[in-house]
C-alpha cells in the first residue's frame, strides 16, 4: 500500500512594530481651459496621523510637449510669509517629470523624490516649481488661500497660492489655486498576528506503523528547529516580526492513489 504522510508545522508572527500602509489620494483634475496655468504652486498638508509623502503626480498642460523640469521644496509651517526666502525651504526633488501612462498629468519619479516625514498635527508646506507655466489647478470661489480645501481621514489639504514666474518670490493674488494631482504617501497601521501552517508531504510505499510516524514527526521537528536557528532569512523574520514556531509537528497518513 502506498501511503501519503502529511506533517504540519505551525508558525506565528507577532507584530512588534507598526506596518507601513501605502496609499494615494487623487484629486479631481482641472477641466476648465480658461484657467491660466501657473509656473509654481505652494500648498499645505495637515496630517491627522503620522505620514510619509512618497511622491507627487501633477496636473499639467502637456499639449505642446513642454519642459517638465520640476523642483519640489518643503517648509515645516505656513508658506504665506516665507514664499520669497529660499533659505528656509528644503529641496526634496530636482528632476524631470514623466507623463503619466493615462495621458493626464505627469509623475515625479519616486526614486527622485526624498520622502517627507510628517508628524501628526504638523503642518508642512510644499512648493512645486517648474520652468514654464504648465501647472494646472482647481479654483473654488468660496475657498481662499490657507483655508481647508479637502478633508480626508489621513490629512487635510489646504488651498494654496500660485507663482507666475519660476523660483521663489511674491505670490499671485488673482486666484486661490487648489493642488490637483495625486499625493502618494504611506502611514503606520497595526498589523496584528498572522498564523501560518506549513505542510510537508512524503510518499511511502508501505503501510506505516505508529512508531514510524512518530519518528518522522521528530525528524521534521528537528529539521525545522535547525532552520529557525541557522537560516539568515528566517532569523531576520524572527527579529523584525517575531516569527516563531508553535508547538510540535502534527502528522497524519492516508492512502495515496497517485
Extents of the domains making up the chain: 3-17+191-255, 19-189
Burial of 49 (0-12, 13-18, 19+ CB in 10 A): middle
3-state DSSP assignment of residue 241: helix
Q: With a cut of 70, list the residues of the chain below it in pLDDT.
A: 1-18, 189-194, 207-208, 210-211, 213, 240-241, 256-258
List the beta strands (DSSP E) in 29-97: 40-47, 51-58, 69-75, 90-96
The pLDDT, as a whole number, for residue 241 is 67
Residue 190 confidence (pLDDT): 61
Measure the CA–CA gap between 58 and 184, rounded to whole angstroms: 11
Contact 121, 46 (CB under 8 A): yes
In this prediction, residue 156 carries a pLDDT of: 97
pLDDT at 249: 77
pLDDT of residue 24: 93
pLDDT number for residue 216: 78
Quickly list DSSP for the chain. Answer: --EEEEEEEEEEEEP-SPEEEEEEEEPPPP--TTSPPBSEEEEEEEESS-EEEEEEEE-B--TT----EEEEEEESS-STT-TT-GGG-EEEEEEE-EE-TTSSSEE--GGGB--EEE-TT--EEEEEEESSS-B-EE--TT--TTSEEEE-SSEEEE--EEESSSSS-PPB-S---EE-EEEEEEEEE---EEEEEEEEEEEESS---HHHHHHHHHHHHHHHHHHHHH-HHHHHHHHHH-EEEEEEEEEEEEE---
CB 4 within 8 A of CB 213: no
CATH number for region 19-189 = 2.60.120
Please tell me the distance from the alpha carbon of residue 184 to that of residue 165, in angstroms, as a whole number.
27
Q: How far is the C-alpha of 22 from the C-alpha of 184, rounded, in Å?
A: 8
pLDDT at 2: 60
End-to-end CA distance of the chain: 12
Distance of alpha carbon 34 from alpha carbon 133, whole angstroms: 14
Residue of 159, 164, 135 lying closest to 148 (CA atoms): 159
In this prediction, residue 16 carries a pLDDT of 46
pLDDT in tens, 215-252: 777 888 888 888 888 888 888 777 766 777 777 777 77
Residue 147: φ, ψ to 5°? -100, 155
Helices (H), the chain: 210-230, 232-241
Q: What is the pLDDT of residue 150?
A: 95
Pairing of β 155-158 and β 106-107: unpaired
Model confidence, pTM: 0.68
pLDDT of res. 235 = 80
Amino acid at each position: 500500500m502506498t501511503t501519503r504522510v502529511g506533517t504540519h508545522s505551525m508558525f506565528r508572527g507577532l507584530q512588534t512594530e507598526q506596518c507601513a500602509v501605502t496609499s494615494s489620494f487623487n484629486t479631481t483634475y482641472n477641466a476648465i481651459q480658461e484657467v491660466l496655468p501657473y509656473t509654481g504652486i505652494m500648498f499645505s498638508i495637515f496630517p491627522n496621523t503620522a505620514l510619509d509623502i512618497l511622491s507627487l503626480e501633477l496636473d499639467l498642460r502637456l499639449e505642446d510637449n513642454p519642459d517638465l523640469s520640476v523642483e519640489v521644496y518643503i517648509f515645516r509651517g505656513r508658506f504665506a510669509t516665507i514664499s520669497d526666502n529660499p533659505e528656509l525651504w528644503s529641496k526634496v526633488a530636482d528632476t524631470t517629470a514623466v507623463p503619466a501612462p493615462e495621458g493626464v498629468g505627469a509623475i515625479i519619479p519616486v526614486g527622485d523624490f526624498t520622502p517627507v516625514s510628517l508628524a501628526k498635527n504638523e503642518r508642512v508646506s510644499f512648493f512645486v516649481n517648474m520652468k514654464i507655466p504648465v501647472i494646472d489647478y482647481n479654483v473654488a470661489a468660496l475657498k481662499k488661500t490657507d483655508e481647508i480645501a479637502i478633508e480626508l481621514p489621513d490629512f487635510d489639504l489646504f488651498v494654496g497660492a500660485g507663482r507666475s514666474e519660476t523660483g521663489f518670490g511674491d505670490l499671485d493674488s488673482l486666484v486661490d489655486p487648489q493642488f490637483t494631482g495625486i499625493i502618494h504617501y504611506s502611514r503606520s497601521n497595526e498589523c496584528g498576528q498572522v498564523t501560518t501552517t506549513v505542510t510537508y508531504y512524503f510518499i511511502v510505499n508501505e503501510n506505516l506503523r505508529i512508531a514510524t510516524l512518530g519518528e518522522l514527526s521528530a525528524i521534521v521537528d528537528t529539521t525545522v528547529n535547525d532552520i529557525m536557528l541557522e537560516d539568515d532569512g528566517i532569523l531576520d523574520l524572527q527579529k523584525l516580526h517575531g516569527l516563531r514556531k508553535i508547538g510540535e509537528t502534527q502528522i497524519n497518513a492516508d492512502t495515496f492513489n497517485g
